[in-house]
Structure 1
Amino acid sequence: MQLSFLQPLFDRPGPWATVYFDPAQNDESGAQRRELSVREACRTLEEEGADATTTEAVRDALLRIGPAEDPAGRVVFAAGGEVVLSHRLSRPPQRQIACWAPLPRLTPLLELAGRDPVRLVAYIDRTGADFELRGAVGPRSAGQVEGERHPVHRTASADWSERHFQLKVENTWEHNAGEIAEALGAAYEESGADLVVLAGDPRERPAVREKLPEAVRRVTTETEHGGRAAGSASPALEEAVEQARQRHTRHRVEEALDRFRAGRVGTDRPTEAVEGIPALVEAAREHRIDTLLVRPDGPELDRETWVGARPDQVAARRSDARTLGESDPTTVRADDALLRAAAVTAADVLVLPAADEDGTDAADIPAGGLGALLRWTYDTTPA
């Protein structure tokens, strides 16, 4: 997950009001629950020291959030008497989160608005294909391609002229497969999709896949369900697309953890990965974090960390922060400090499954729930 959309939060000082808000159901009892939730959130902010103008700005923003427009809710970030950023959630929070702190509260956002892999579904027949992009905001068209329409149907005759006609049919199929593959490769690049699912004609699908660029073919899967014809959608197709999404997510996590295990200090290779707050804040200060790994239930996420005005002014101890040129450092949660540093240096952030969801021997990796893959390495092996 790239956090560049959070840049407005780092262009101004705090403290910050953060509220993760679920608008409940669109009925009379839901409206009453929303009003009570708004009151509770604002009361929490006031009790934690939020100023009146910022609390009022949050109140106004929360009252405008409804289940029709934002069924899973929104997160609201406010400072200095105004809402600086409001972002739609893709999953409703299990409980309302409201806090007043020196930095925005960001870790819940990784789980509740974390970017699912974007799926590019190609509905293929022998004359062309329709492309559909699926992500957090629902399916939308990603274009189409039409190939040659004649001839596309074989005959059953063994006559020489008919065999010649059948060869022309196969040539049309082959030509159209190339046209579809070229258009699909372009749609993949333009859309920023993470994976491709081919649905439709059982002969044309593998022909299209074979002609895709290697980079696209590596993230492409096929399903026998669904197709281009009207009414061909089915629960089986939806299940196949969901399974592709899960496989992609699982593979990405496994790949990152494999890199992390291989790159940690203590191996016989240069250090390519770090864990533990002291090592992480050092990497953040040096802008070396390439991918920040966050396990949301990790015990060290709320560890006390010290920060200055700049995102790279982060330290494990107050005395260290002062040596970085910050005369009056502020204590914050470690995860908020590291996420701010990752965001402003264009690092990626990967959310790992919670320990009770993992079911593997990797549930305690990285130690404390925070780790990083580095942009460049330090060789720590003996000379």
Structure 2
Amino acid sequence: MHFQWLTAQLPTDEMLATVVMDASRDTESGDRAVAARWSELRRSLDRQGITREMAAVLEEQALKPTRASGPHGRLIVASAEGIVMDRLLLFPPRKDEAVLSVGPDVFALAREADDTVRYLLAVVDRTGSDITLYDSTSGAVGGQPHRESVEGGHDVLNKIRGGGLSHKRIESRVEDSWERNAEAVAGELDRIVGERRPDLVVITGDLRAVALVQGALGAQAKDITEHVSGGARNNGVNGSFEARVDDAVEAFRVKRRSTAVERFQQELGRGAMAVTGIDRVIDALRKSQVEELVISDAVAGPVSSLAETKVWVGDKPLELSMHRDEIRKLSSGDARARRADLALGTAAAQQDAGITIVYGDAVDLTDGIGALLRWDPAKPSGVVDNG
């Protein structure tokens, strides 16, 4: 699963502090509990060499309430310039963690992206639509969803009883108005999908208007659109409709994950476009060959099961190896040891690879990690298998 919408917000060549913590405040002692968790994270960052200025900015942010209810987590990223990301997590992490490194903790971002479905809700009637772009996790702390309304401008909207030519002409004008308004809504949805790249479009409202809008959508938007019944413009909050939207979002989340896992299993079974095990994954990353990393829940962390494993890296993100001498051949700079989870995550982001997290025993991953490949290593680079 690709998450450029997250990584694009962050510098990759600056020292960043990535904090993943339980931000739940549901008890009377909630504020004290969060403060205690932050104190532990602050001590960890101090040991890693964080500056006082960056630590102070992080502390101020971490102690601010999220205003979210129920158990939840928080992902905060800070640079020397200040806070660059602060997002809610659907669930508290198993363990809080703070990492100081060049570039972000990519596996932490992958965890957030795995939780998140960015969806566009379009509530339509025969005059237009109210459109809202949501993150299923509630998105940035303190942030607001993007909202806009579209009005078609064609106002012959109601059919009349009766007969004769006059009646038929009015009916024809009404149908034409509905279609033109639907085309205006569809055009706006197409534009937003192209610009904002949501994962899913949820459409609801007047059934006739829904059908007309869906029929007028371009291919890109149509492919990701799901109809959920029960919503209406100017109808206020409807709990049963919200539950149906939540179900649609969760179904999309599960399908997205299972699609990548099934493809990985098929390719691994063929012995062609997939590999597993840290050595083979590192080799594929070094060649910019990885389309999608597939990692276990334990590898995703926090704390990653690969955190204690060290790999050798050079001056560039793709200069990595399990062997120091190999880096000396690959890089003009000195070889240095780095946490495997951070090094592999950085290399994946560098080549615009996606990351899918596997839960339970859905697939057997050596070292908890595998990769779907862009091209078959048994064939020359760029050769496409059409069979």
In which range does the TM-score fall when normalised by the shorter chain?
0.7 to 0.9
Residue from 342, 345, 349 that aligns with 2:348? 342
Matched, 1:333 2:353: no
Structure 1 stretch 58-67 or stretch 123-132: which is displaced more? Answer: 58-67
Q: Give the secondary-structure state (helix, strand or coil) at the position aligned to 1:153.
A: coil
Q: Give the secondary-structure state (helix, strand or coil) at the position aligned to 1:281.
A: helix
Query: Once the 2 structures are TM-superposed, how far is the Cα of residue 73 of structure 1 from its aligned partner?
Result: 3.4
Q: Is the 8 A contact 1:6 1:343 kept in 2?
A: no
Matched, 1:260 2:259: no
Query: Once the 2 structures are TM-superposed, how far is the Cα of residue 377 of structure 1 from its aligned partner?
Result: 2.5
Q: Is the 8 A contact 1:300 1:334 kept in 2?
A: no
Q: Which residue in the other structure is 1:291 paired with? A: 292
Q: Give the secondary-structure state (helix, strand or coil) at the position aligned to 1:215.
A: helix
Distance 1:350 1:6 in 2: 20
Query: Once the 2 structures are TM-superposed, how far is the Cα of residue 35 of structure 1 from its aligned partner?
Result: 3.7
Q: Which residue in the other structure is 1:358 paired with? A: none
Partner letter of residue 127 of structure 2?
Answer: T
Matched, 1:370 2:369: yes
TM-score, with length taken from structure 1: 0.81
Partner letter of residue 318 of structure 1?
Answer: R
> Structure 1, residues 72-105: CA drift from partner, whole Å, max 9, x if none?
4343456xxx577652132143432245679864
Q: Is the 8 A contact 2:157 2:178 kept in 1?
A: yes
Partner letter of residue 73 of structure 1?
Answer: R
Q: Give the secondary-structure state (helix, strand or coil) at the position aligned to 2:194.
A: helix
Q: Which residue in the other structure is 1:125 paired with? A: 125
> Structure 1, residues 38-81: CA drift from partner, whole Å, max 9, x if none?
332233345xx434x63663245213433435754343456xxx
Query: Once the 2 structures are TM-superposed, how far is the Cα of residue 209 of structure 1 from its aligned partner?
Result: 0.6
Partner letter of residue 295 of structure 1?
Answer: S
Query: Once the 2 structures are TM-superposed, how far is the Cα of residue 317 of structure 1 from its aligned partner?
Result: 2.8
Q: Which residue in the other structure is 1:168 paired with? A: 173
Q: Is the 8 A contact 2:154 2:178 kept in 1?
A: no
Query: Once the 2 structures are TM-superposed, how far is the Cα of residue 202 of structure 1 from its aligned partner?
Result: 1.1
Extract unaligned runs of 5+ from structure 1.
356-361
Distance 1:113 1:90 in 2: 11
Q: Which residue in the other structure is 1:359 paired with? A: none
* Alpha-carbon spacing, 1:126–1:35, altered in 2? closer, same or farther (3 Å): closer
Matched, 1:273 2:279: no
Q: Which residue in the other structure is 1:194 paired with? A: 199
Partner letter of residue 121 of structure 1?
Answer: L
Distance 2:379 2:305 in 1: 25
Q: Is the 8 A contact 2:125 2:209 kept in 1?
A: yes
Q: Is the 8 A contact 2:24 2:34 kept in 1?
A: yes
Q: Give the secondary-structure state (helix, strand or coil) at the position aligned to 1:331.
A: strand
Extract unaligned runs of 5+ from structure 2.
381-387
Q: Which residue in the other structure is 2:235 paired with? A: 231
Q: Give the secondary-structure state (helix, strand or coil) at the position aligned to 2:270.
A: coil
* Alpha-carbon spacing, 1:145–1:345, altered in 2? closer, same or farther (3 Å): same
* Alpha-carbon spacing, 1:220–1:335, altered in 2? closer, same or farther (3 Å): same
* Alpha-carbon spacing, 1:179–1:109, altered in 2? closer, same or farther (3 Å): closer
Q: How does 1:125-164 map to 2 (within 5 A)?
A: 125-135=125-135, 136-137=139-140, 140-164=145-169
Aligned residues: 361
Query: Once the 2 structures are TM-superposed, how far is the Cα of residue 18 of structure 1 from its aligned partner?
Result: 4.7
Instruction: Note the aligned Cα RMSD (angstroms).
Output: 3.2
Matched, 1:212 2:217: yes
